[in-house]
Structure 1
Amino acid sequence: MPSPKRLIYSHIAERGTVSKAELLERYSMTSSTLTRLLEEMVSEKLIEASGFGPSSGGRRPILYETNPHYGYFFGLEISRFSSTLGFFDVRMNPMSLTRWRMDEAMTPERVVDHASAMMKAILNDHRIDPSQVVGVGIGAVGPLDRERGIIVKPRYFSSPGWVNVPICRMIEEKTGFPAELENGANAALMGEQWAMRSAKPLHMLYVHAGVGLRSAMMSYGQIIHGSLDMEGAIGQMIIQTDGPRLNEDGNFGALEAFASVQALERMAQSRVKINGGDWAGRLQVPPDRIRYELLLQELRQNNSHVEEMFRQAASYLGIGLANMINMFHPETVVLGGALINSYDRFYDTAIGVARKNVYYYPEYEPVFTKGELREDAVATGAALMMWKKMPV
């Protein structure tokens, strides 16, 4: 159970500015106890007075807000195609966001060296002493050993060496900052919930549709962790008995075989090999070299064959979403990833199919959204993880 000081601090941080009267109404404590806590937090520079609120008949109340310079946080996303380093103040305002490609040269050692050099440059640019940095949150593609800070064996990385990587220890030794690890889908959901905090969503589902499928769930504002940290498990949801499978260790008929970047690439390669056609001739590459970027190019040229493939994949994703929604009944469903963000009709089709298959509809209907932070969600959520652990 959080301490009274932590509860008060978190409430002020989430609301922006708060009066003593609001805090007394929310928390069961005497006026003198709250006054003592607020004075203590002001003296510790955790919070500061930010002016006066409107009067309700007497003196105007003092408003309190968090001190943005009390501490700083780095959030590091490690993903398959790109990684992001974010730098945030204690109000979770992004002071810097930098992205780079994860190509063949980006070994674990190279990523740590690159991120460390950028952290140093960012602190120099903002004239912030390293002692003010609370820590580095890391959101990475799973599977993970979160307790030991290890990236276990993620798929589809261009660079070799991403097996049993003690990423937290490597970051700590290189930077001197404490580091903690969370899977990227969970971090993204934490970031998006923070961005939507004014709407107070407590039960949320996050699904990332890209090279693979990843998901996260939140209940009563807390991330749901299983006994294993396998964020790609949604991709193994069976939606067609005895259907195809994407990988040798995957389930037959799993969702990832129908609704992922890889599934679309394989579908296009297969159709071109079997049927050919005018549009296949325009591609000017052998079928085995058809990639997602080429399919997006065809979409922009209104290629009806490619549009149909995307529509079919989106329909399958919609069925997968409906299955998860019917099991969990979230208030808000956040969708992210390349398939969602690079083609609007994919998103519209997926949520349309999901809505039609949601049980109790229309009495119950979740809010669907692409999120507020989108590509910055993982880095933000990773930094927020350290913010929540900040000693108060």
Structure 2
Amino acid sequence: MLLIHEVIANPKAREIYLTIRKHGTVSKQSLLDESGLTISTLTRILDELLSMELLIDVGFGESTGGRRPILYETNPAYAYLLGLEISRTRAKLLLMDFHLQLLGEYTWNMDAGLTPEHLMESLQEEAQRMLASVSLDFSRVAGLGIGAVGPLDRRAGVILNPARFAAPGWSQVPIKEELEQRLGVPVYLDNGANTALLGEYWASSNRMQHHLLYLHAGIGLRSAIMNDGRLLYGMIDTEGAVGQMIIEGSGLPPHIPGGNAGAWESYVSVQTLERQARDAWRLGSSGLLHGLAESAEQLEFAHLIEALQARDPVVVRLFNEMAVYCGIGLANLINILHPEEVILGGPLFLAAEDFYQEATRIALERTYYREQYNVRFTRSRLRERSVAAGACAMVLQELTN
């Protein structure tokens, strides 16, 4: 699959294509106003892009007094995209069109048997099955994007040494090279927070925002930053480093080897919540928790959500206390980065309304210049598909930038 700048040799034509992609649906008059081109030049470019099947016209817009304007979109069937999430709990594969509309989906549990080799073998089979179900084959696939738990080397395409994977073998995995050989398509790798933010950006109807912050709260804390539609990268993959922000100087011991005492992730994570709830079960302070699990070790996050919805006072207190710590850490990030919008994903934000409301309230309360600086909070629009959908968007971005 050729890159768009290789397909569209004319820089002005490429600019028009990218403008239409960013807007979604746009009229010829809007393109004329925005581009500054003459009507004859713009018409020639649009005809060229239509003939190459990069664009389609989708009818007419509303009249503002004269003739109804023709509306254009990028062609969703120009090529197709595969996106893979690799997290500590699951792997998820999506098939999407060039508009990031979902065509197929498959999920694996990241159990002790899902080694890298097993996942890659199964992925090849499932991708072929998905494509066949919509009468496609790999010749129509522009690439596979992967959003994975770090640390990783995104340029080399290697998953380095992620912690807390159930299966062996998830260290120094050259996943880009191996999957390119298996599938015969380009493969791109980034951390899951970055791809999730990319997915949320393209799922939004407002792509004119300049500064975005994404935070995922689940087994750990992961973050990503976007400026003017582009992800910001440091010298190394730092997706999970936000969880090592110290919020209590002589606080709880770290969850991971080499982590910081008093780190944010020690106070805000599904693991921490489950550990606290298991302590409560052993103390017998919640009858409801005893009814949900026969032993403390059997208590899981889904049980805690059930208890929260039943307004069990012990569980409500645990979620509220964690939300305070979450809000303090969020305020620290906001005061440093000053995003326009903070997008919150992961099970803690998506499954627990009280947690989301309290954490954002605390964050706003601790935000400097809060009267003048109106940061917006939203929850993930793509929810459990955000990482894999964003991995598809990463392929699209690689092709079109």
TM over 0.5: yes
Deviation at 1:173, TM superposition (A): 1.3
Query: What's the CA shift string for 1:274-333, capped at 9, x where partnerless?
Result: x44454755665545544344334334432122211111111000000000111111111
The answer to whether the 8 A contact 1:217-1:223 is kept is: yes
The correspondence of residues 268-347 of structure 1 with structure 2, limited to 5 A, is: 268-270=277-279, 275-277=283-285, 279=287, 282=291, 285-287=294-296, 290-347=299-356
Please name the residue that 1:65 is paired with.
73
Instruction: Give me the CA root mean square deviation.
Output: 2.1
Deviation at 1:165, TM superposition (A): 0.8
2:394 to 367, 385, 390: 385
Please name the residue that 1:97 is paired with.
105
Deviation at 1:109, TM superposition (A): 1.0
The answer to whether the 8 A contact 1:188-1:378 is kept is: yes
Unaligned runs of 5+ in 1: none
Query: What's the CA shift string for 1:137-167, capped at 9, x where partnerless?
Result: 1111111100000111112211111001111
Letter in 2 for 1:351: T
Deviation at 1:41, TM superposition (A): 0.8
1:256 is the counterpart of 2:265:
yes
Letter in 2 for 1:10: L
Residues 276 and 383 (structure 1 numbering): CA distance in 2 closer, same or farther, change over 3 Å? same
Query: What's the CA shift string for 1:60-91, capped at 9, x where partnerless?
Result: 43322222211111111111111211111112
Deviation at 1:13, TM superposition (A): 2.4
Please name the residue that 1:370 is paired with.
379
SS at the partner of 1:330? coil
1:149 is the counterpart of 2:133:
no
Moved more, 287-296 or 176-185: 287-296
The correspondence of residues 7-26 of structure 1 with structure 2, limited to 5 A, is: 7-26=15-34
SS at the partner of 2:399? coil
2:119 to 97, 101, 111: 111
Letter in 1 for 2:163: R
1:170 is the counterpart of 2:142:
no
Moved more, 275-284 or 13-22: 275-284
Moved more, 134-143 or 65-74: 65-74
Moved more, 374-383 or 299-308: 299-308
Moved more, 310-319 or 56-65: 56-65
The answer to whether the 8 A contact 1:358-1:365 is kept is: no
1:238 is the counterpart of 2:238:
no
The correspondence of residues 94-243 of structure 1 with structure 2, limited to 5 A, is: 94-198=102-206, 200-243=208-251
Residues 57 and 305 (structure 1 numbering): CA distance in 2 closer, same or farther, change over 3 Å? closer
> Aligned residue pairs: how many?
390
Q: Distance in 2 between matches of 1:278 and 1:352?
A: 27
Q: Distance in 2 between matches of 1:197 and 1:281?
A: 45
